[in-house]
Structure 1
């Protein structure tokens, strides 16, 4: 029996004698290294908050006291101490444990906080509501991994002084994915070195610290001191990302921020293709610069940064600022490329619309992790951008089907000088190139069948599944054409004409059904009076659970077998 075997709730943590806590911390670290390296997930952030999480659960009484995590990828230890250790065998797998806090899993999880810089705003609202209700419940928000660089966090800090007794636990490991940049990072470094005049106190919050984030006794003392103040307070905890695991501590790039599951397939990814091509484009075009929101490596910009260090701008976890700063770069005559995960661009839609598009500025958005992303779950599936961005006036949106098209479309996007462009691709291996039969307008015809009874519009990487489906349908005596639109917004008139020549068109895409290309194509055909029946075959407009990309697509019929079934069903319905 180990100490961890006897932990099924925070009450068990509080019952341990202080002398047992270092051994518990060691057990948790061994547990995390074993389970996370096997299943995949966020390792470094959680190794860094072991003692901090133990102290939080000894001082505060979750779930009576409200404990919020920002960002949520540092909540694995919290999951362990709240009775979910046995569930780590299925971490981030379909039907298994989420990689982020999840209210569906446990009453100890209040929010699914997988997007950074939001917990302080949640805390502000919860504290105000509890105060109005006369409740004695305490509110604690753990902010770390660069989350405090986000503008929303500072909007919350500006209001917290009037909220009530919120304890803000600043997990200061000096990093997000890479070392945290900007003036805030410099200020925290000064505080770690003994500086005393704090921004937090200037905003009306008390300040406790800095405290060693790996000293459980010191942490407990600091947290009790903060709770006793009965006012908004920041507890500044200095931690080491990847603590206790030598490979992480020695990994200066990102301290093993996240690891892939054991046995995960390798191969060249879409991100790899983009990274190599944007570096080549940068060598050819001195006006091309790149912007990242604390994710230079994960979005593929390392090669560009190595060759052109002065032309990459890391603004921290601040997507809104990233987009409008890019607008400023464009106003001054450069062509910025904003590399961002699809799900995170949603945080800056207003800036895309009114700061970039309204001014018809040449900004290229490269949307990594578009479509179904897999094990990160509903907050990270990039299934909204292709439904939302087409409403932006003047924005051109591309979806490459293969590496050659990603390189081609990226160059076409960077060449646009009169408005914004976006290129989207998934989190997966890029695979082999898919040749076209011919090009019609901006579209590539991938298969032209004699006497075709239908047309499959294959959006981006759905091309392979559509071609496989077309082969199976042909074997069943149902010939169909396959076309890749390449640019999915605005609609190419050539695509509308091509679709109008078929009696059945099925648009296959891994985006939300609402606003998808299929619906826009049906509307365009209705305007010209075409009798064509158009079906949108996409993801339901719901928050989809975590699972592998293949599992999620298959569950919604977006594989070759599902496409065959849908085509046959639609033809039978309209025969």
Structure 2
């Protein structure tokens, strides 16, 4: 089924193929993608939608000399397969295997490392300026989706590019009417209107009537340039006003349209903007019908598709949050739910159904999400910003300047805190404890299980200022979740085990459970601290009177984290005792299975026991 694909070792092989062979290659590549991703899990819908575009780009452009930058990188699997990594797809997103995103250290064809949205145009512009200054004849192509175009950074780059002279920059808008969740915002409506406007439709109908009377060669030529005609007859575009020569929209699955268009734009050079229309899940009917479900599936049988799980499974932290949000909204009409384009991932699907006027998907715009919440809080309402830990990094200035500085009542629900597994370093929520606890006014809560997650959400929601609750990806220990909206005492920890060895383990978050298991062999005291900020200073002072050594445990970076907070408190209080911080080391942690990564870092029962026992011998 993949006879031609098996002969492709690099894009140079793609450039030697005829148009007919390119079509065959696309079919084989799509089939290979379905079979491969079904065995490893990974992003599927987006990659099926960019098969022909990827083939056309590597056929027309001289990669890696010419630079192709895939925005986000969800759609880069066909690119990886055509650039010498076909066999490595069997280890995609697994420990020791290739990344699910473009990665400069992985291949010379990965011109820029991506995984977060809307960076491609900025990076391509930077590269284009260097090529100009060094007089290197080179093409620079940024492939960005319509979802990623909702972010301000993309327009900042377009604005800058529009006044940058003497560069070759081609921006390809991969318009599939989707981001991860369904599309939102005025830009999406604009693009839809551009594609379906009456001018274009009238021109299409008139042209078809005339051309049907002409010989077939003329009709074939018209078919190939149909996309251009539609673009030319449509209204003046925003992108032309920004200084780009706009082409399109054209069919992103039609090689006979893509290849000549790309060849023409390559010859023209300068600032070019190509609008291509693709379909997520193209060629696999199940993914076409539900591109959200097939956005990032686990392993599945391609002949059956993704099957609903049977039996009773433990709720994920995301589900616990989603249920809490609906319950709290039912009790308090001031609650507003905000997500930056992660409705499914952050657990807001049911909330949107039940409270549509209080649900806001602001698109891939994390900075705006935070300040939008601040504005809501100014008027006495209570925004809850549901955001991945790694994405809150993108709104950090707004968190400080617009929320904390004004001490506004905004609650942040930080999903995917800590190790995230297959998505790797780009999505790891390793830094939120460190970057949050240094900000005045803010509360930082670290629930240890599903029920604690709900209790601390209650507490932070009722706190009259900025507050955050961080919780990991996936399920916890299966704790029963009490349907209460009552808070716990702010800044108070709970002793979970009384030990006699004089060692106290202070656990921040879900690593409480392996810490409890490790404490059995050490006869250590174990505390569920619950809060990094405010710390339970009274409890720490009392423990210091009866314990000779402390160990802090957190699924976050050691540098500046919860362990640092404890050490700072002891130093400021003139309490002299050794502290061993256990957490994530000062490296970017690569992809792999979550529990295997934690075990490799010594953050499971056995690892904690060994590290603590070895440390105690040194003090």
Q: TM class, shorter-chain normalised? A: over 0.9
Query: Within 1, Cα distance between the matches of 2:109 and 2:330?
Result: 51
Task: Indicate conservation of the 8 Å contact 2:448/2:511, yes or no.
Answer: yes
Query: Within 2, Cα distance between the matches of 1:122 and 1:396?
Result: 36
Please report how far the alpha carbon of residue 196 of structure 1 lies from its aligned counterpart in structure 2 after TM superposition.
Answer: 2.7
Match of 2:194 in 1: 191
Match of 1:66 in 2: 67
For 1:312, which of 359, 367, 370 is the aligned residue?
A: 359
Matched position secondary structure for 1:72: coil
Size of the aligned set, in residue pairs, is: 564
For 2:269, which of 230, 235, 255 is the aligned residue?
A: 230
Match of 1:476 in 2: none
Matched ranges for 1:374-385 at <5 A: 374-385=421-432
Superposed CA offset, 1:294-317 (max 9, x none): 111110011111110111111110
Task: Indicate conservation of the 8 Å contact 1:401/1:434, yes or no.
Answer: no
Match of 1:57 in 2: 58
Please report how far the alpha carbon of residue 230 of structure 1 lies from its aligned counterpart in structure 2 after TM superposition.
Answer: 1.9
Please report how far the alpha carbon of residue 145 of structure 1 lies from its aligned counterpart in structure 2 after TM superposition.
Answer: 5.3
Match of 2:492 in 1: 442
Q: Does 1:500 find its partner at 2:544?
A: yes
Q: Does 1:459 find its partner at 2:459?
A: no
Please report how far the alpha carbon of residue 179 of structure 1 lies from its aligned counterpart in structure 2 after TM superposition.
Answer: 2.2
Task: Indicate conservation of the 8 Å contact 1:71/1:145, yes or no.
Answer: no
Query: Within 2, Cα distance between the matches of 1:569 and 1:297?
Result: 44
Matched position secondary structure for 1:259: coil
TM-score w.r.t. length of structure 1 = 0.95
Which deviates the most, 51-60 or 533-542? 533-542
Query: Within 1, Cα distance between the matches of 2:251 and 2:42?
Result: 26
Match of 2:212 in 1: none
Task: Indicate conservation of the 8 Å contact 1:291/1:314, yes or no.
Answer: yes
Query: Within 1, Cα distance between the matches of 2:490 and 2:140?
Result: 59
Match of 2:152 in 1: 151
Match of 2:572 in 1: 527
Query: Within 2, Cα distance between the matches of 1:15 and 1:255?
Result: 37
Larger radius of gyration: 2
Task: Indicate conservation of the 8 Å contact 1:268/1:431, yes or no.
Answer: no
Please report how far the alpha carbon of residue 158 of structure 1 lies from its aligned counterpart in structure 2 after TM superposition.
Answer: 0.3
Please report how far the alpha carbon of residue 342 of structure 1 lies from its aligned counterpart in structure 2 after TM superposition.
Answer: 0.5
Please report how far the alpha carbon of residue 458 of structure 1 lies from its aligned counterpart in structure 2 after TM superposition.
Answer: 1.1
Change (3 A) 1:440 1:125: closer
Superposed CA offset, 1:384-430 (max 9, x none): 1111100111000111111110110001111112x200010111212
Matched position secondary structure for 1:333: coil
Q: Pairwise CA RMSD of aligned residues? A: 1.8
Superposed CA offset, 1:155-180 (max 9, x none): 00101123311000110001101222
For 1:427, which of 473, 489, 493 is the aligned residue?
A: 473
Matched position secondary structure for 1:41: coil
Q: Does 1:17 find its partner at 2:8?
A: no
Query: Within 1, Cα distance between the matches of 2:602 and 2:478?
Result: 23
Task: Indicate conservation of the 8 Å contact 1:67/1:109, yes or no.
Answer: yes
For 1:257, which of 292, 295, 298 is the aligned residue?
A: 295
Change (3 A) 1:561 1:498: farther
Task: Indicate conservation of the 8 Å contact 2:507/2:527, yes or no.
Answer: yes
Task: Indicate conservation of the 8 Å contact 1:503/1:531, yes or no.
Answer: no
Match of 2:584 in 1: 539
Q: Does 1:401 find its partner at 2:451?
A: no
For 1:274, which of 314, 321, 324 is the aligned residue?
A: 321
Query: Within 2, Cα distance between the matches of 1:206 and 1:495?
Result: 65
Please report how far the alpha carbon of residue 499 of structure 1 lies from its aligned counterpart in structure 2 after TM superposition.
Answer: 4.1
Matched position secondary structure for 2:506: strand
Superposed CA offset, 1:261-288 (max 9, x none): 3599964211111111111111111111
Change (3 A) 1:395 1:439: closer
Please report how far the alpha carbon of residue 496 of structure 1 lies from its aligned counterpart in structure 2 after TM superposition.
Answer: 2.5
Query: Within 2, Cα distance between the matches of 1:467 and 1:453?
Result: 15
Match of 1:76 in 2: 77
Matched position secondary structure for 1:445: strand
Please report how far the alpha carbon of residue 137 of structure 1 lies from its aligned counterpart in structure 2 after TM superposition.
Answer: 1.2
Task: Indicate conservation of the 8 Å contact 2:491/2:533, yes or no.
Answer: no
Match of 1:344 in 2: 391
Matched position secondary structure for 1:42: coil
Superposed CA offset, 1:456-492 (max 9, x none): 111111011101101232xxxxx10000111111322
Change (3 A) 1:54 1:440: closer
Please report how far the alpha carbon of residue 443 of structure 1 lies from its aligned counterpart in structure 2 after TM superposition.
Answer: 0.5
Task: Indicate conservation of the 8 Å contact 2:532/2:565, yes or no.
Answer: no
Matched position secondary structure for 1:340: strand
Matched position secondary structure for 2:504: strand
Query: Within 2, Cα distance between the matches of 1:228 and 1:329?
Result: 50
Which deviates the most, 157-166 or 276-285? 157-166
Query: Within 2, Cα distance between the matches of 1:448 and 1:499?
Result: 11
For 2:524, which of 451, 456, 480 is the aligned residue?
A: 480
Match of 1:328 in 2: 375
Change (3 A) 1:384 1:244: same
Q: Does 1:555 find its partner at 2:600?
A: yes
Query: Within 2, Cα distance between the matches of 1:341 and 1:37?
Result: 26
Change (3 A) 1:17 1:456: same
Task: Indicate conservation of the 8 Å contact 2:491/2:531, yes or no.
Answer: no
Superposed CA offset, 1:339-395 (max 9, x none): 111101001110000100011001011111000101111111100111110011100
Which deviates the most, 221-230 or 294-303? 221-230
Match of 2:131 in 1: 130
Task: Indicate conservation of the 8 Å contact 1:45/1:145, yes or no.
Answer: no
Match of 1:515 in 2: 560
Matched ranges for 1:31-180 at <5 A: 31-144=32-145, 146-163=147-164, 164-180=167-183
Which deviates the most, 81-90 or 526-535? 526-535
Matched position secondary structure for 2:554: strand
Superposed CA offset, 1:129-149 (max 9, x none): 110000101101100151111
Please report how far the alpha carbon of residue 319 of structure 1 lies from its aligned counterpart in structure 2 after TM superposition.
Answer: 0.2
Structure 2 unmatched ranges of 5 or more: 201-233, 482-487
Task: Indicate conservation of the 8 Å contact 2:37/2:299, yes or no.
Answer: yes
Match of 1:573 in 2: 618
Matched position secondary structure for 2:469: strand
Task: Indicate conservation of the 8 Å contact 2:146/2:173, yes or no.
Answer: no
